[in-house]
Amino acid sequence: EEKLAALVGKEKALVFSTGFMVNQGVLSSIAGRGDTIIVDRTDHASIIDGARLSFADVRKFRHNDMENLELVLASESERGKLVIVDGVFSMEGDIARLPEIVALCKKHDATLMVDDAHGVGVLGDHGRGTCNHFGLTDDVELIMGTFSKSLASVGGFVAGSAEVIHYIQHIARALMFSASMPPASVASVSAAVDVMLEET
């Protein structure tokens, strides 16, 4: 977890059994009734399912459409808002317009999470991901990644501030009531990160 936090430039990270469970556990922990989760229409299914489990209102904006995102954000001015986007979209292969998304989240006081399942190992310095690619790591509150893509294993993680990760660790049912990753899978992820940092 320390190695993963350092990889994506965050204070602390938390490992889950699968990437799908990361999004289910995180979204259902940090949002709830009275909040709004705002998602790109082409976000991964695990994001949609996690958002539904939270009991927050779920709003979608057109894919990578910043004008539409701003309309949705402006219409939710009195509520807690969480925007979550894929860093690299799995179906289209295009990249989130992260600089504009960050600016809109700041303008409308929204928290931002990036699902970087397809960005870690591909974009950024030594594969550090989409947020690093744009130089916006400090502007994104939570970064999620999976081990089943470029790291060739199983499992997933979320990284952010120590306070938020500590909270998720004690609230996320997908973490607490599920088996942890097998030691061999953990070791293979650790070795894959080493290779990525040393050889790319």
pLDDT digits (tens, 9 = 90+) for 76-115: 988 899 999 999 998 889 999 999 999 999 999 999 999 9
pLDDT range class, residue 12, cuts 50, 70, 90: very high
Give CA–CA dist 141/14, Å, rounded. 14
CB 120, CB 150: distance < 8 Å: yes
- Count the domains in the chain: 1
Active site residues: 90, 118, 149
Q: Which two tokens stand for residue 92?
A: 């289209």
* Sheet of strand 35-40: strand arrangement: 12-16, 156-160, 142-146, 111-115, 80-86, 35-40, 57-61
Task: Please report which residue ranges of 39-182 form alpha helices under DSSP H.
Answer: 45-53, 66-75, 98-107, 130-134, 162-171, 173-176
CATH number of the CATH domain containing 82? 3.40.640.10
Per-residue pLDDT at 78? 82
* Enclosing domain of residue 158: 2-199
Residue type, 86: D
Region class of 129: left (phi > 0), else alpha (psi between -120 and 50), else beta: left
Question: Per-residue b/e over 158-177, b at no fewer than 16 CB within 10 Å?
Answer: bbbeeebbeebeeebebbee
Give CA–CA dist 145/53, Å, rounded. 20
CB 50, CB 29: distance < 8 Å: no
pLDDT digits (tens, 9 = 90+) for 41-80: 999 999 999 999 999 999 999 999 999 999 999 999 888 9
Checking if the pLDDT of 15 tops 90, the result is yes
pLDDT digits (tens, 9 = 90+) for 153-164: 999 999 999 999
Per-residue pLDDT at 51? 96
Nearest C-alpha neighbor of 93 from the set 123, 67, 73: 123
Q: What is the pTM of this model?
A: 0.96
Mean pLDDT of the chain: 96
- End-to-end CA separation in angstroms for the chain: 21
